[in-house]
Amino acid sequence: MANSSATIRDVAKLAELSVASVSRVLNGHGNVHADTRKRVLKAMDTLGYVPNAAARSLSTARSHAIGIVLPDLHGEFFSELVRGMDMAASDANYMMLLSTMHADRERAIQALSAMRGRIDGAIVMAPQLSPEDLRRALPAGSPAVLVNSPEEDGQHHNLRIDNRGGVTLMVRHLLASGRKRIVHLAGVAENLDAVERKQAFCDTMKALAPELPVRVLDGDFTDTGAELLVQQLLASGEEFDAIFAANDMMALGALKVLRTIGISVPGQVAVAGFDDIPLASFLDLTTMRIEISDFGKRAVERLVAELSNDAPPATLERVTPTLITRATTASG
């Protein structure tokens, strides 16, 4: 029966060899006689030996694990992101250490510290951290890929969404389909993407339709938050014929309220989101598609490349989303 904790010395003893030989077999090093290899393998098998990862990473200073720090896990955006990361990680034979930083900037730093010694590199998504905090959280030399995070001084590769490009496409689409009074539901103010999208919305409106009003409501990226905002908007009696939310969840919240109240979508009001979470296609929501799982996959692949020392120079890499037009913005 498999002993629950056989060590390499146990294997060596049983095979009547030294630990070095066992280790060599274990790691497929050269210069091991075929007989020796066989004896080692048999011993490992009868003992049910599994090498201890902690010991191994202590002596090699490599853990074959990467840390993932995310702001939250709510919703399909993160589920897709993690799925993509998992695919890439498992292809490259890395484990994933997952952690969230519950909106608390101190805990983000703490989470990263707790990973010291267990990971070879990290993927950090910290849209609400300042570059300052970020530098503090990431030991200068440690390999890391930043996802949707503030730019530091080029220490780490940065993977971002081309928010400006995406917003421009969407605004153009809404205007083209005849909408005049577009309300933007912005995301949480601390979030980098939210800020960029909001700014891009204002700029694009000014540029493409200077005569129209630029209307922005500050939301929080949640459907329930958006529901409240739209209810207030309706109560205020203000006119509008389109809602462009900074993410799909808010768009769906808006959609829910409009439909409940009995306002026709897209008849009276068009609704558009951002992200293209799987839910969006079910509800026929027009949105900007980011291939989220690819995004996660890309981040891991980049990190692994860095760990294998064939890393391209650390740059800012932007992924441009594509416009997916669906029923919620069909021409009124």
Partner DNA sequence: CTTCTTTATGTAACCGGTTACATGACGCGT
Partner DNA sequence: ACGCGTCATGTAACCGGTTACATAAAGAAG
Shortest Å distance, C-beta 32 to a copy of itself? 22
Q: What residue 74 binds from a copy of itself, DNA, none (CB within 5 to 8 A, per partner kind)?
A: a copy of itself
CA distances from 317 to 157, 295, 302 (A): 8, 11, 11
φ/ψ of 195, rounded to 5, equals -65, -45
By rule CB under 8 A, what string of x and - marks binding of each residue 233-272 to a copy of itself? -------------------x---x----------------
Near a copy of itself by CB under 8 A: residue from 43, 108, 115, 270: 115
Q: Which DSSP letter does residue 320 get?
A: P
**Quick check: 149 binds a copy of itself (CB under 8 A)?**
no
What's the rounded Cα separation, in Å, for the pair 171 and 161? 17
Q: 217 in helix, strand or coil?
A: strand
What's the rounded Cα separation, in Å, for the pair 54 and 156? 27
Shortest Å distance, C-beta 75 to a copy of itself? 7
Residue whose entry in the numeric block shows the structure tokens 């809404």: 174
Q: Which DSSP letter does residue 327 get?
A: G
Shortest Å distance, C-beta 26 to DNA? 5
**Quick check: 36 binds a copy of itself (CB under 8 A)?**
no
Chain positions 302 to 331 lying near a copy of itself, rule: CB under 8 A, are: none
Near a copy of itself by CB under 8 A: residue from 38, 74, 206, 318: 74
φ/ψ of 290, rounded to 5, equals -110, 130
Residues 178 and 332 sit within 8 Å (Cβ to Cβ): yes
**Quick check: 36 binds DNA (CB under 7 A)?**
yes
**Quick check: 63 binds DNA (CB under 7 A)?**
no
Residue 120 vs 196, nearer CB to a copy of itself: 120
Tokens of 76: 């399909």
